[in-house]
Each structure stands twice: as structure tokens, then as C-alpha cells.
Amino acid sequence: MKQKPHILPTIIIAQFACTSPWFAGNTIVDELILKTGLGHEIMGWVLSSVQLGFIAGTLLFALFMIADRFSPSKVFMVCAFLAALCNLYLITDQMTKWSLLLARFGTGFFLAGIYPVGMKIAADYYKKGLGMALGFLVGALVLGTGFPYLINSTAWGSDPYRIIVATSAFTCLGGALMYFLVPDGPFLKKSSKVNLYAGPRLFKISTFRKAAFGYFGHMWELYAFWAFTPLAIESFNIIAQNDVSVPLWTGIIIALGSVSCGLGGILSQYIGSKKVATAALLLSGFCCLISPFTFSLTPMFFLFIWCIWGMGVTMDSPQFSKLVATSINNELKGTGLTLVNCIGFAISIVSIESLSMLTEIMDNKYLFTVLAIGPLFGLWHIKGAKNH
């Protein structure tokens, strides 16, 4: 069945716009320190609270099968508006530590109706070429994640108010585009009732379990890598006595992941999603292991390796989602994707907080070797998955 040409571009644009609040709090962390009186430990807490909110949201969405029982486009739009509202709280002057964390938790909670639901919408439109569609879709998410850092590297970055207003406005726009331009897809099959055991029972399916476990290994590395890349660049500047722009290169390193997601999606059409995901895990795992040596390189080679790492660390994400989606029935695709996201992001909190604690006892240049656990775990489990 031939799809209307505007469908995939609209989903991609909406996903990009609506994921921009994810790291918005981290880009204005100095401003938040002044408002709350917290120290630099706020960096881990601001992101972890978003991750916790996302976990809570995806857990509830999965248990009550929200994306499989209601119109995904409507769910996406409502969650986009509510995420934007929570994000806007960051510009208020009346802020405490707990109100900040609650606002970030709320942002993460409603992002649960954006990221996995966006993939569900794509799966409702595409069977053939789903790996490529998800590659572009997750690429948009990655670009949206890096968008606040890129804003912060421009003249706009001097005003935290503008960063937050811009990301919130983008989120509302993305939600509206999805609702008005992307109706329910031709492969959508709604579930008629709640089955609280549907999600956990999916892990009895061997292909689903192996794809999910591979994704979990990927998630141990991904968000911790993104969250601590600014620290890595700051540490390199201190060691090399250089002045590499932290917000600009953090944004570039994260945003390059969107390119690799798209390239991986195209490549999956020829060699299959499993091989693409395996190659990405090998590349990012290798970068984890050699990361201590990068701090002794010239700025050009340091940034080159970290840019390659930024591409490798994300390339496998859409392919794991494709492997998960194709391992289960249409009626449970939304629930399966949401549940796997939920567990994956719970794992990401453990890795983020682990790195936060290790910064107190470990030289920063050795910090990223801990992330190699994820790719190794992912490679161990994906080897038994089918190559769709």
C-alpha cells in the first residue's frame, strides 16, 4: 500500500520538535544552580528526573495499553502540549529543588506519549521499510535532543528564557502537526480492553526477548554518554589547556547521531537490522574502551573520535526498535515498544547515577570505560536474534 508522501516527513518533524525539551534543563544548568542553590550534582539529577518521569509514563502507558487502545496521534498531541507546559516551568523565578525535579519529572512523563508513540505511529504506516522509517524517526529524536545545546551555542544561548520558550513552542507545533496531518495508519489494530499481563508475557517470545535485551545494553551507554559529554569536553580543555566550545561540540556530537540513524536505516534495507545494530555496538564499545587515550590527542583527533562515537552510540537504537516491533502482533506493538522503552530508560538512570558517583572517586578520562558494559551485554544477547 502506497503511503501519502507527507506522512513520514511529518512524523519526523513532529518527533524532532517534541523531543527538544529532553535536555533543555541541562543546557541552562548554571541558571538552575543559581535559582535552587544546588551544586553541580544538579546535572545528574535534572536529567535523571526526566528519565524517572519517562519510566513512570511508559510503565503506565504500557500497563493500560494507551497507544493500542486510543488514537496514537491524539495521544501524541495531548502529551506534547503537557510536556511543553512542564518545560516552561524552568523560566519561573519561584523555584525550589523539589519543584524543579517535579517539573522535569512531568516533562519526562509526557515524553512517554511522544517517543514510543511516534514509533508506534510509524509502525502503523510501514511494514516494508520499517527499519529505514524508524532510522529517520529516531534520528529526528536524536537531533531534537541535541537541539537545545545547539541553541545554547548561538547568541540565543545567553538567555535561558529563549531556550526554554523555543523548545516549548517547538513541542506544541510538533504535537499539532501530528494530530492534524497524520491520521491513524492503515495497519493500526486497536485493542479493545486492558490486559495488565500482556506486556510482561511478551518476554516469553524468544525473538522479542533477545531484541529487548540487546536494546537494554544499548541504553546503558546512550544517555550517560550524552549527559556526560559536556564533562568530557571540559576535562579535555583542562588537560590540553584548550578552549573547545562545550555547548557547540556537545550539540554536534549528539546531533551527528541523527545522521547515523538515517544511514543505519538505509543500510538495514540491504543487510538487515541485526547486522546494523551489531556493527554499531562494536563501534561504540570500542570507543568506550579507548576513551582514556583520546584525552591525550590533539583537539582535532579528540573531537573526531567523539563525533564517530556519537554516531555509533545511536545507530543501533532504531534497529532494535524495528526488531522489537516485528517480533510481536500488531495489537501489541505500542505496548511492546513502550514497555521496552520503560525498562531501557530505567537502566539509563542507573548508568547516569553511577557515572555521577564515579566522578567523585575516578579521573574523568577513565569514566567512560564503565559504559562498555552496555555494548558487551547487547552483543551477547543480539547474537541469537533473527536478522530482519
Is-contact 104 53, C-beta < 8 A? yes
CA-angle at 329, arms to 324 and 330, nearest 5°: 95
Residue 41 has a pLDDT of 61
- Taking only the tens of pLDDT, the chain with its 388 residues reads 456 778 889 998 999 899 889 878 777 777 777 677 666 566 667 778 888 998 899 888 877 778 778 888 999 999 999 999 999 998 888 888 888 889 999 999 999 999 888 888 887 887 777 778 888 888 887 888 788 877 777 777 677 788 889 899 999 999 999 999 998 777 666 655 556 566 678 888 888 899 999 999 999 999 899 989 999 999 999 988 888 899 889 989 998 998 999 999 999 999 999 999 999 999 999 999 999 999 999 999 999 999 999 999 999 998 998 898 888 877 777 778 878 888 988 898 899 889 988 988 899 999 999 999 999 999 999 876 666 5
Cα four-point dihedral sign 304, 307, 311, 314:
positive
Q: Got the DSSP string for 159-204? A: -HHHHHHHHHHHHHHHHHHHHHH----TT-----S--TTHHHHGGG
- Sequence-ordered alpha helix ranges (H) in 202-272: 206-240, 246-271
d(CA 146, CA 20): 7
Q: What dotted CATH number matches 7-182+200-382?
A: 1.20.1250.20
Burial bucket for residue 310 (CB in 10 Å: 0-12, 13-18, 19+) = buried
0.75 exceeded by pTM? yes
Give me the residue label for grid cell 551555542: 153
Q: Which residue ranges make up each domain of the chain?
A: 7-182+200-382
Q: Which residues contact 315 (CB under 8 A, 6 or more apart)?
A: 257, 260, 261, 263, 264, 276, 277, 279, 280, 283
Question: Of how many residues is the chain composed?
Answer: 388
Q: Residue 157: what pLDDT?
A: 66
CB atoms within 10 A of CB 309: 27
C-alpha 267/C-alpha 278 separation (Å) is 13
* All three cell numbers of 2: 502506497
Hey, what's the cell of 170? 517547538
Q: How many whole angstroms separate alpha carbon 4 and alpha carbon 207? A: 31
Separation CA 268–CA 387 (nearest Å): 10
Q: Are 36 and 42 in contact (CB under 8 A)?
A: yes
Say what the pLDDT of residue 321 is.
87
pLDDT of residue 382: 86
Q: What angle do CA 163, 254, 322 make, to 5 degrees?
A: 115
Asked whether the CA dihedral 169, 174, 179, 181 is positive or negative, the reply is positive
- Residue 138 and residue 14: Cα distance in Å, rounded? 11
Cα distance between residue 386 and residue 371, in whole Å = 26
Half-sphere exposure of 136 (CA within 13 A, CB side): 17
DSSP-derived secondary structure for 341-364 = HHHHHHHHHHHHHHHHHHTTTS-G
Residue 41's Cα: distance from chain center in Å?
22
Interatomic CA distance for residues 132 and 198, integer angstroms: 28
Q: Are 32 and 100 in contact (CB under 8 A)?
A: yes
